[in-house]
Amino acid sequence: MKLSQSNIKLIFGLKVKQLRQNRNLSLSELAKKAGLSVSYLNEIESGKKYPKSDKIAALAKALEIDYDNLVSLKLGKSLAPLGDLMDSKILEKLPLDHYGIDINKLIVLLSNAPVQLNALVATLIELAKSTEMSDNKFSRTALRIYKELHDNYFEKIEKSVDKFIAQNKLTGLPIIHYNDLLKILTQKYNYEIDEKSLEKYELLSEIRGIAILGKSNRLIINPKLKPPQKTYLLAKEIAYNFLNIKDRAVIYSNRSLDSFDHLLNNYMSSYFANALIIRRDLIINTIKDFFKQEKWSGGNLLKLIDNFNSTPEMFFHRLTNLSSKYLKLNKLFFLRFATKINNDKYNLSKEFRLNIDHYPGGYQTGEHYCRRWIAINVLEKLKSKIKSNPNYSRYIVGIQISKFGYSNDKYLAISIGRRSTLTPDNLSSVTIGYLIDENLTGAISFINDSKIKTKIVNDTCERCSINNCQERMAAPVVLEKEAQSQKVGELINQLMQNK
Quote the pTM value. Answer: 0.76
- Residue 259 shares a structural domain with residue 298: no
Query: Using 50, 70 and 90 to split pLDDT, how confident is the model at 1?
Result: very low
Q: Which residue, of 244, 277, 310, is where some domain finishes?
A: 277
Percent residues over pLDDT 70 in the chain: 83
pLDDT at residue 19 greater than cutoff 60: yes
pLDDT at residue 35 greater than cutoff 50: yes
So what's the pLDDT on residue 107?
65
- 372 occurs within a structural domain: yes
**CA atoms within 13 Å, Cβ hemisphere of 436:** 18
Burial 294-315 (b: 16+ CB within 10 A, else e): eebebeebbebbeebbbbbbbb
Nearest to 434 by CA among 416, 404, 403, 411: 411
pLDDT at residue 242 greater than cutoff 80: yes
The mean pLDDT value for 469-478 works out to 81
- Residue 302 shares a structural domain with residue 394: yes
- Residue 231 shares a structural domain with residue 323: no
How would you list the strands of the sheet with 347-354, edge to edge?
Answer: 347-354, 332-340, 426-435, 410-419, 396-404, 454-457
Q: Which domain holds residue 330?
A: 281-465
DSSP code of residue 225: S
Most confident of the following: 366-370, 430-434, 469-473:
430-434
- Count: domains in the chain: 3
So what's the pLDDT on residue 235?
97
Contacts of 131 (CB under 8 A, 6+ apart): none
pLDDT at residue 484 greater than cutoff 50: yes
CATH number, domain containing residue 162: 1.10.10
Alpha carbons 411 and 331: distance in angstroms, whole number: 9
- 139 occurs within a structural domain: no
- 474 occurs within a structural domain: no
pLDDT at residue 363 greater than cutoff 80: no
Give yes or no for a contact between 245 and 265, defined as CB atoms under 8 angstroms apart.
Answer: yes
So what's the pLDDT on residue 45?
84
So what's the pLDDT on residue 98?
58
- Residue 183 shares a structural domain with residue 82: no
- Residue 264 shares a structural domain with residue 290: no
Nearest to 206 by CA among 222, 219, 226: 222
pLDDT at residue 113 greater than cutoff 50: yes
The mean pLDDT value for 405-411 works out to 83
Lowest-confidence region among 276-290, 355-369, 469-483: 355-369
- 186 occurs within a structural domain: yes
Q: Which residue, of 277, 303, 326, is where some domain finishes?
A: 277
- Residue 154 shares a structural domain with residue 295: no
- Residue 126 shares a structural domain with residue 164: no
- Residue 291 shares a structural domain with residue 255: no
The mean pLDDT value for 34-45 works out to 89
Tell me, rounded to whole angstroms, the distance of Cα 463 from its chain centroid: 24
Lowest-confidence region among 5-19, 105-119, 203-217: 105-119
Bridge partners of 456, per DSSP, are 403
Alpha carbons 414 and 11: distance in angstroms, whole number: 52
Q: Which residue, of 132, 159, 188, is where some domain finishes?
A: 132
pLDDT at residue 445 greater than cutoff 70: yes
Query: Using 50, 70 and 90 to split pLDDT, how confident is the model at 189?
Result: very high
Between 91 and 241, residue with greater pLDDT: 241
Query: Using 50, 70 and 90 to split pLDDT, how confident is the model at 133?
Result: very low
- Show the CA angle centred on residue 297, arms to residues 294 and 303, nearest 5°: 125
- 483 occurs within a structural domain: no
Percent residues over pLDDT 90 in the chain: 48
Number of helical H runs and strand E runs in the chain = 20, 10
- Residue 242 shares a structural domain with residue 323: no
- Residue 53 shares a structural domain with residue 194: no
So what's the pLDDT on residue 433?
95
So what's the pLDDT on residue 11?
80
pLDDT at residue 304 greater than cutoff 90: yes
- 396 occurs within a structural domain: yes
So what's the pLDDT on residue 140?
73
So what's the pLDDT on residue 465?
78
So what's the pLDDT on residue 162?
95
Query: Using 50, 70 and 90 to split pLDDT, how confident is the model at 255?
Result: low
Query: Using 50, 70 and 90 to split pLDDT, how confident is the model at 132?
Result: very low
pLDDT at residue 74 greater than cutoff 80: no
- Residue 114 shares a structural domain with residue 198: no
Lowest-confidence region among 59-68, 403-412, 459-468: 459-468
- 499 occurs within a structural domain: no
Alpha carbons 56 and 41: distance in angstroms, whole number: 11
Could you count the other beta carbons within 10 Å of the beta carbon of residue 363? 15
CATH number, domain containing residue 24: 1.10.260.40
So what's the pLDDT on residue 463?
79
Average pLDDT over the chain, rounded to an integer? 85
The mean pLDDT value for 259-273 works out to 88
Contacts of 111 (CB under 8 A, 6+ apart): 14, 17, 18, 79, 82
Query: Using 50, 70 and 90 to split pLDDT, how confident is the model at 275?
Result: very high
